[in-house]
C-alpha cells in the first residue's frame, strides 16, 4: 500500500477527530448560551481557540499530502479525483481514502449545522440584549425625571 494514501487517510481521520472536538465544543456552547452560563461560555471559547489551532494545522497537513498525491497522479487535490487515480493502482487504497473522507464530511456537515444554530442563537441574544438595554435606558430616564432632551423635568 502506498504510504501517501495511508497518510492521507490517517490525516483525514485525525482531522475528523479534531472536528468532532469542535462539534462537541459548539454543542456545549449552544447549551451554555441557552442556559445563560456566561462563565462556561468563556471557558468554552478558550477551548475553542486551542482546538481551532489544531484543526488548522491538520488541515494544512491534509492539504499538503493531498497535493503531493495529486501531483504524483496528475489530478486535482480533491478526494474524489485522488480516489479515481488510486483505483487504477489499488482499489483498497482508494476505498480507504474514500471512507476516511466520508467520515470526515459527515462530521463537517454536523458541525456546520451546529454552528448555524449557534450563530442564530447569538444573533437572537444580541437583539434581545439591545432591546433590553434600550428599554432600561428609557425607564431609567423616566424614573429620574429626565426630559426628552436629557434635561431635568421640573414639574412636580
Residue 49 lies in a domain: yes
What average pLDDT score do residues 22-42 get?
90
Whole-prediction pTM value? 0.76
Residue 144 lies in a domain: no
d(CA 61, CA 51): 15
State the pLDDT at residue 1. 46
Q: Tell which residue, 136, 135, 133, 152, has the closest CA to residue 144.
A: 152
d(CA 145, CA 124): 32
Whether the per-residue pLDDT at 155 is higher than 60: the answer is no
Residue 120 lies in a domain: no
Residue 122 lies in a domain: no
Whether the per-residue pLDDT at 153 is higher than 60: the answer is no
The total of structural domains in the chain comes to 1
Structural domain span for residue 44 = 3-111
Whether the per-residue pLDDT at 144 is higher than 70: the answer is no
**pLDDT tens digit string along 97-140?**
999 999 999 999 999 999 999 888 888 888 888 898 888 888 88
In the numeric block, the cell 431635568 is attached to 152
Residue 67 lies in a domain: yes
Residue 16 lies in a domain: yes
Kindly tell me the sign of the dihedral angle through the C-alpha atoms of 148, 154, 155, 156: positive
Residue 148 lies in a domain: no
**pLDDT tens digit string along 49-92?**
999 999 999 999 999 999 999 999 999 999 999 999 999 888 99
Residue 75 lies in a domain: yes
Amino acid at each position: 500500500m502506498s504510504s501517501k494514501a495511508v497518510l492521507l487517510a490517517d490525516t483525514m481521520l485525525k482531522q475528523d477527530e479534531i472536528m468532532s472536538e469542535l462539534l462537541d465544543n459548539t454543542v456545549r456552547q449552544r447549551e451554555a448560551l441557552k442556559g445563560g452560563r456566561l462563565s462556561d461560555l468563556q471557558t468554552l471559547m478558550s477551548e475553542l481557540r486551542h482546538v481551532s489551532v489544531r484543526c488548522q494545522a491538520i488541515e494544512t497537513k491534509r492539504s499538503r499530502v493531498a497535493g503531493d498525491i495529486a501531483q504524483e497522479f496528475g489530478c486535482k487535490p480533491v478526494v474524489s479525483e485522488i480516489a479515481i487515480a488510486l483505483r487504477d493502482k489499488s482499489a483498497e487504497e482508494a476505498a480507504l481514502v474514500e471512507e476516511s473522507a466520508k467520515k470526515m464530511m459527515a462530521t463537517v456537515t454536523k458541525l456546520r449545522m451546529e454552528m448555524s444554530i449557534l450563530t442564530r442563537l447569538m444573533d437572537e441574544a444580541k437583539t434581545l440584549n439591545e432591546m433590553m438595554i434600550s428599554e432600561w435606558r428609557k425607564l431609567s430616564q423616566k424614573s429620574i425625571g429626565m426630559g426628552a432632551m436629557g434635561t431635568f423635568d421640573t414639574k412636580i
